[in-house]
Every structure is written in C-alpha cells, then in structure tokens.
Structure 1
Amino acid sequence: MDNQLDLIESIAPEMIDVFLRRFDILRNIGLMSPVGRRMLADRLHLTERVLRSETENLRKQGLISSSQAGMSLTEEGRRVVNGLDDLANQLLGLNSQEKQLAQRLGIDKCLIVRGDSSDDSNVMKQLGSVLNETLAKMLPEGNNTIVAMGGSTMAIVAKELTPVLSDKRTLMFVPGRGGIGASVAKQANSVCSTMAARTGGQSKSLYIPEQLSKDTYHPLLNEPSVKAVLELIASGNVAIHGIGRADDMARRREVDSATKEMLREQKAVGEVFGCFYDKEGQIVYRVSRIGLQLEDAQKFNHVVAIASGHDKADAIQAYMNFAPKQTVLITDEGAANVILKK
C-alpha cells in the first residue's frame, strides 16, 4: 500500500493534495458543525474563495449540507470521514509515528489524532471518536464491564461514544473513583452516566468522597453499596483513564499547601490513579482513595489511556515507565511530537 501511494504521488501529486485538503475540510466541519465559511476558512488557513469552491464540490457530492446556522456533515459525509481516516493518517505519516511512539513508550499501541489540544480544544472530540472506534474493535460480544475514571478529558470524550458499541454487547460502565473537587461534570460518576446514555448501556455510581482520612477509609470498604461497586471494578475487562499534570491535579484535588510544596520539591510531573510521580516514573505521593488503584490496572485485559497536548508530554512519557504494558494510548500530534523529539 505504501509503495502504491508513492507511485500515485509520483504521477499525480495534485490528487493526494486535493484529497487531503478536502478530507481536512470534512473533518473540521464534523468537529465544528454547524460552522460558517469564514470561521472555517480561518481555521484551515484557506481563502474564502478556495473554501467556497471546495465546499460546493462536497455539497454536490452529498457530503455536507448548509443551513442558516452553517455547514454540517450529512450521514454520507460522516461515513466517508470515518472510512478514510486511516488512509489520511497514512498519507500524513501518522501510522508510522504511532508505531514509533508505542515503541518509544514500551506499550501495546498508540493512536495519534491530528492537532494539539493545548492550542485547539476541538482536538478533544477527535480523541473521543478514536476511543469509540477503539472500543468497537476491542470489546468482545456479550457482557462487558468498563471501568472509567473522571477528569476534564474523560468528560469530553464520553460524549463522543455511540450506540454502535452496544451492538451484540451489554455494557456496564462503572466509576473507578468517587467525587473530586467541586466540578460534578468531571466526576467519574458523571462520565459513566454519559457513556451509558450515549451507548445505550447501564452505569453504576460510587457515592463517596474521593479523598478520605485513614479513619474513614476502612469502614467504608464494608458498606454494601461500596462493596458492590468494588466487586464490579474487580471484574472489569476494560479500564479507561486520563493522565493529569501534577500541578493541575494538585489544584483540582485541593491538596494542602505543604503537600503542594512537597510535590514541587520532588519535581512531580504527572498524576494517575491518585498517584503523583516524577519524570522517572517514581511515585512521590499517593492520595488515600476508594476505587481503582494503580496496582489493579495491571489485571485488566485492556487499558486505554487518553491524554493530549504538548503541555502533557512529560506527564504522559513519565507515566509509561510504570503503565500496564497492555495500555493503548490515545493522544495527539502535540504530545507525540514533543516525546519523539526527545
């Protein structure tokens, strides 16, 4: 396939250029819809005249529709974008980059979406679409228990899951932890509820504070409602989680000033499963919590980590020093480029 593409480019380089330009237009309409021509032209760095010509061709082919609110993909347009995504990635060299990144990080697989979420929040939607495609290939038929963590990234990607995941499957989404801070929408309970609603599955909730004192921690383990969720976590076949920057997570977890200072002194770069770690992947601080523990993640058949943006590159790379080897990382070019250049 690679050789064939090289041959095509040698005799008709403009064909590949046109394909990539039109695919990029379709992909961005899908992410931004409904979107006006001027905003889309600015996003793609195209003149309005060029964009008008391209979108008119795409409209005639039945791939986009227009309304007063702006342009949107048709059902056929969505089918085309999903079907050609792998080819576009190959033409852009992302497939090769994915293999390099997985080898560099020492994990099972990496999937890279175009863009940098540190500069463009729309990239997060692409992460969600890739998660949906990954789960569609990963989940076996029958009963599946999916343990999902909370966080900003998880709250966004949860909205991109679709009912296709419930085809010949019964899905149960279980929170890997209790609440965190004041933002209910980012809590694992809410993420699981959204995933269940989007896919036609079911969800459970873990109604406990995430951060607990040692005196409170052990008695709660014997509460029937808590035990039931913990048993589901233990029987899960897929875990999905984000990766946070240490400074962001210390603020969100509302840790005290002494702990924040300790994390700075220890040069913590990231946080996952309640564990703060440095650049070498050494854990420097652990939050007392009920739910999915770092050690538990090793037992899952599949682990999907979702994190992106150039500002998370250090946190992603350091975590992979102790991440489960069966981890599939879904990230973007922003993070991948930083890691591969080191």
Structure 2
Amino acid sequence: MREILDIQKQLLPDLMDIMKKRYSILHHILVSGVVGRRTLASSLDMTERVLRGEVDFLKEQGLLETDATGMKISESGRQLLEAMEPIVKVAFGLTDLEENIRKAFNLTQVIIVPGDSDQSSFTKKELGRAGAAALRKYVGKDDIIAVTGGSTMAQIANNLAISSKMKGSLFVPARGGLGESVDMQANTIASTMAKKTGGKYRMLHVPDHLGEEAYQSLIQDSQIREVVEAVRSCRIVVHGIGDAMVMARRRKVDAETTRSLQNDGALAEAFGYYFDRQGNVVHKMPTVGLRLEDLQRVEVVIGVAGGKSKGEAIASVLRYGQEDVLVIDEAAAIEVMEHVKK
C-alpha cells in the first residue's frame, strides 16, 4: 500500500490532494453528525462554491445525505471512511509518527488523529471517537473500567453506544471530583459511559482533594470503601492528561502549592499527580480513589489527550512509563517527538 501511494504522489499528486480534501469533508460531517454547508465551509477553511461542488459529487456517489437540517454521512460513506483510515494515515504521514512514538515510549499502541485540538473542536470530537474505539477494542467481559474527568473524557463518553461486549462492565470514577463543573466530573462521565453502553456504574461522592484527617474519616464509610476497592481493582483505566498549571488553577490549588509546583518544574497532571520533564512525580494531591501504585497492576492504561500546547505534558507522563495505549492528535504527536529528541 505504501509503495502504491508513493507512486501516486509522484505521478498523480493532484489525485492525493483531492482524496485528502474529500476525506476531510466526509470525516468532518461524520464527526459533526449533521452540519450545514456554511458551517462546514468555515471549519474546513474552504469557499462555499468549492464545497458545493465537492458535496454534489459525494452525494452523487451515495456517500452523503442532505435534508432541511443539513448534511449527514450515509452508511456507505461511513463504511468508506473506515476502509480509508489506514490509507489516509499513511498518506498524511501519521503511521510513521505512531510507530516512532510507540517505540520511543515502549507502548502497545499509539493512535493519532489529524489536526490540533487547540484549534479545532472537530479534532477534539475525533479524539473522543478514537478514544471510544480504543476502549471498545481492549474491553473484556465484565470488566471494571476506571475513568477520570475532563472535556476529552466527556467526548469519549459521548461516542460510546450500546454494546454486548460492555453490558456487564462496571464504570467507576478514578477519583473524587466534586470541585469542578458537573459535566466534566469523573462521576458524570462514568455514569454516561454506563448508560451509553448498557453497563453499570458506581459513584464516588467525595471531594477531589482531601486533608489526611478527612481522608481517614471518609475511608471508614463502608459505601465509600466499597467503591474505592472497585476502583483499585479495575482492569482498564482511561484518563486524560493535563498541563500542570492549568489543572492547578482549575482545581483551585492554593498559591503556596502552586509556587511549589512551579519551583519543582511540574509540567503535567494525571490522577492528581504532578510530573516534571523527566516523568518524576513532584507532587501528589491527597485523594480518594486510584493511586499511582495501583497502575502497576492495571492491565490496560489508555491515555487520551490532544493539542500542541499539551505536547510536553504528554511526553512527561509517558516518561513515567505506565501507559499502554496513547490516543492523541497530530499536533500533540509532533510536539511529543520534539521532546523525545531533546
């Protein structure tokens, strides 16, 4: 396949450009669900006149459907996109990038989606779709799946659907999280994932950060202890990766701790742990739920994050060495490789 694409690039470069353009149109419509022509033209930075011609062609091929609400992908279009994915990854150069990152950090699998989540809401949605696909691939019968909070994790939840494979699964929040907006809390995401897939869920109604005295008091509660035991016996973890300072602000970390994080060179945050450039843990927040030591016996750890701005943070967490599967976007992947070279 790679050889054929190389020949096409040399002999028919225009054909490759047309393929990429039409793939991008179909892909954006797939991710959007239903979208109007003007909105799509703006998202693709394409004139409405050019887009109209492409849409007419794709509609004639039976790949798109249109009605008063806008354009949506047909079943034939959906099948074509699935068949094209490996070809497009080679054409975009993403296959080599996936393999380079996989080898650099000794991962089981790396999945890269085109684009930059910092610049495009479509790319963030695609990260969610790819993250959901990764979870479906690795989930087993009656698994316990621990999930963290965040906007990318919410996108993953939105892309799940009823699944015979997941019906017996138990979704649990990886940690407490009553301090952030409800729709991005791990509790909410765990319940959404369960409802979408036909699985079960348990909630952990405790604050994100606790003092030692409060922690010891809460852990005595039998219901909380039962959920925590389920969290710590999970087989799969799906989590996001955040920029250390952004996460500190979001979690309303006090000024003294924030200064300490800066002085210690904290770059990334995951599970309430903060990592420096070398992947060392420089700070941890007292929390009820998953601990880093629990990750050592978790069978599948799936990290999902995107955006060029997070590239260095992602590389930092990867250096800690507990990830198995990484789902990121193209901009973040390029940035990660820049930090591998340093």
TM-score (norm 2): 0.93
Q: Deviations over 1:65-96 (max 9, x none)?
A: 22233211123322322332222112211111
- The more displaced of 150-159 and 13-22 is 13-22
- Contact 2:129 2:155 survives alignment (8 Å): no
* Pick aligned residue for 2:332 from 318, 330, 335: 335
* Pick aligned residue for 2:267 from 249, 266, 269: 269
- Once the two structures are TM-superposed, the CA of residue 10 in structure 1 deviates from its matched residue by 4.5
The one-letter code of the counterpart of 2:330 is E
Q: Does 1:54 find its partner at 2:51?
A: no
SS at match of 1:122: helix
User: Percent same amino acid at aligned positions?
Assistant: 36
- Contact 1:275 1:283 survives alignment (8 Å): yes
The one-letter code of the counterpart of 2:105 is L
SS at match of 2:112: strand
The one-letter code of the counterpart of 2:149 is G
Q: Does 1:159 find its partner at 2:151?
A: no
Residue in structure 1 matched with residue 277 of structure 2 by the alignment: 279
The one-letter code of the counterpart of 2:207 is P
Distance in 1, Cα, partners of 2:214 & 2:335: 42
Residue in structure 1 matched with residue 249 of structure 2 by the alignment: 251
1:109-120 aligned within 5 A: 109-120=109-120
SS at match of 2:52: helix
Q: Deviations over 1:160-201 (max 9, x none)?
A: 1122x4347522111111124241111111010111122121
SS at match of 1:125: helix
Q: Does 1:145 find its partner at 2:141?
A: no
The one-letter code of the counterpart of 2:57 is N
1:5-154 aligned within 5 A: 5-140=5-140, 142-154=141-153
Distance in 1, Cα, partners of 2:219 & 2:151: 27
SS at match of 1:143: coil
- Once the two structures are TM-superposed, the CA of residue 267 in structure 1 deviates from its matched residue by 2.2
- Contact 2:139 2:166 survives alignment (8 Å): no
Distance in 2, Cα, partners of 1:79 & 1:223: 50
- Contact 1:176 1:292 survives alignment (8 Å): yes
SS at match of 1:304: strand
SS at match of 1:170: coil
Distance in 2, Cα, partners of 1:78 & 1:167: 22
SS at match of 2:239: strand
Q: Deviations over 1:43-83 (max 9, x none)?
A: 22333222111111111222212223321112332232233
Residue in structure 1 matched with residue 238 of structure 2 by the alignment: 240
Change (3 A) 1:168 1:275: closer
RMSD: 1.8
Distance in 1, Cα, partners of 2:237 & 2:32: 29
Distance in 1, Cα, partners of 2:166 & 2:31: 28
The one-letter code of the counterpart of 1:237 is R
SS at match of 1:331: strand
TM-score (norm 1): 0.93
- Once the two structures are TM-superposed, the CA of residue 271 in structure 1 deviates from its matched residue by 0.8
How many residues are matched?
A: 339
The one-letter code of the counterpart of 2:161 is T
- Contact 2:144 2:235 survives alignment (8 Å): yes
Change (3 A) 1:160 1:224: same
Could you tell me which runs of 5 or more consecutive residues in structure 1 were left unpaired when the two chains were aligned. none
Could you tell me which runs of 5 or more consecutive residues in structure 2 were left unpaired when the two chains were aligned. none
SS at match of 1:154: helix
Distance in 2, Cα, partners of 1:124 & 1:198: 19
The one-letter code of the counterpart of 2:202 is K
Change (3 A) 1:265 1:167: closer
SS at match of 2:262: helix
